[in-house]
A and B are shown apart, each in its own frame.
Chain A
Amino acid sequence: MHNFDFKKPSSVTELTAMMTSYGRDARLLAGGTDLIVGMRSGNLRPAVVIDAKKIPTMVEIQLEKDGLTLGAATSCRRIWENRQVADIYPALIDSASLIGGTSIQGRASIGGNLCNASPSADSVPTLIVMRAVATIVSSRGTRTLPVQDFCLGPRKNVLADDELLLQLHFPPPPKHSGGAFNRFIPRNEMDIAVVNAAAEVELDSSHTRFVDVRIAIGAIAPTPLFVSEAGNAIKNKPVNRKTIDHAGDVAMACAKPISDLRGTADQRRDLTRIMTIRALEMAVRRAGGTVTDD
């Protein structure tokens, strides 16, 4: 590995000052499971590495009436260990407990997973359907952005050289709603998703009709994709097999997958449909509904 300076700011102000002064010579260290591996392979060569984990805001989990606020450097493990978060945001736990394996999750962060902006990132489809909002700070100020606008391309995000992702905020889930994330991998653990999909559904009070549906798919486009067409296609439709399959078909039509080391385009298209359907089924169950046969 190349040599680098290691900094440990203890406040956001200190951190943003460093980001301003070092710009693209610096990388932020959260869990390290991407950054350290990237540095070791020679792909990433920052002159400065800044540890974000000493800053309380970046590692806090705050559950309040206005929703969940997650520090960007909070580890997946701390998220899925949090029973209250698990009760209210089960889809987030789906993602947090699927990234890598147990020891990876002991360090890897949702914020890091998002900033990494891999098309197959296991957190991003979930963040999108949960309407997560990113809080971005720099010494120039603070801005917020819906997560679905955060990734620009493979390994490219909206952050300017002096900016960092501070927190993610999740609104409280609406009544009669449920969310779920799933992914397809060749083994049963540890792999990068061939395709992944998240769904959040809001049902009517009888749990038999979709009021609002959000679907996001990963690994089938340069960024994780918010497939509004698929969700919109089944708004106000009954909660049944035909509707859910239709959403799967629409999602499949929107997918723009490539063939690579991990899967072929054809396989990814098929998986888009299946993973969408399964995410919807799980989301419906969590919302208190049942997928009827007709």
Chain B
Amino acid sequence: MTDYTTRITTVINGQEETFFCEPRESLLEILRDRLQLTGTKEGCNDGNCGACTVILDGVSVNSCCVLGVEAENASIETIEGLADGDSLHPLQQAFIRETALQCGYCTPGLIMAAKDLLAHEPLPSNERIRLWLANNLCRCTGYTRIIKAVAQAAKELHQKP
């Protein structure tokens, strides 16, 4: 029987990680099952819900549409890497403060997508936030508070020195 096992080295949340996988495993499967980073979620496994959003080489992507083997030498950010120790990222704080989550399942993907937005556009309009986050489905909140939380976090990040 053919052995498809491949050895992959990548950087996840600033740490070098090495794992073994078959090419057919998605980056989402690697994160959740091989590396036990279960913060990133599966919702549809075909790019239509954004629950699996991570930042790959500075760009938000659906990790279900990336193969684990494509992560070789890439730099990946997941929700687990966002807080600085006990200190939450302004997006995380804003989500809690604004009640921008209910069940919390879509939250990691949304926060990572929003982080990418704010890294590239410091003070996006509400309409721009809505467009950017349209790849991330939420079924609980109706989005109003999510948009507000992102806008608030944007202001806070913009003011930081």
Contact = CB atoms under 8 A, between A and B. Distances in A.
Nearest to A40: B45
Given A37-B46, A40-B45, A102 B24 contact: no
Contact of B65 (A5, A37, A188, A189): A37
B22 A3 contact: yes
A273 to B, nearest CB: 27
Contacts of B26: 36
B47 interface: yes
A103 B50 contact: yes
B66 A32 contact: yes
B125 interface: no
Given A3-B2, A5-B23, A37-B47, A103 B67 contact: no
A49 interface: yes
A39 B24 contact: yes
B132 interface: yes
A102 B135 contact: yes
A51 interface: yes
A77 B23 CA distance: 25
Contacts of A102: 60, 113, 116-117, 131-135
Interface residues of A, number: 32
A36 B48 CA distance: 13
B40 to A, nearest CB: 12
Nearest to B56: A106
Interface string A20-48: 00000000010111001101110000000
Contacts of B70: 29, 32, 51, 53
B24 A1 contact: yes
B6 interface: yes
Contacts of A5: 4, 23
B4 A103 contact: no
A32 B28 CA distance: 14
A280 to B, nearest CB: 24
Interface string B98-126: 00000000000000010011001000000
Contacts of B72: 8
Interface of A: 1-6, 8, 29, 31-33, 36-37, 39-41, 49, 51, 53, 75, 77, 81, 100-104, 106-107, 188-190
- A-B interface, 7 closest residue pairs, ranked by CB to CB distance from nearest: A101-B135, A189-B134, A6-B23, A1-B24, A106-B61, A106-B59, A103-B135
7 contacts: A6-B67, A32-B65, A33-B62, A37-B46, A41-B46, A102-B133, A190-B135
Given A4-B4, A102-B117, 10 more contacts: A2-B24, A3-B2, A31-B65, A32-B70, A33-B62, A36-B65, A37-B46, A53-B70, A102-B113, A189-B131
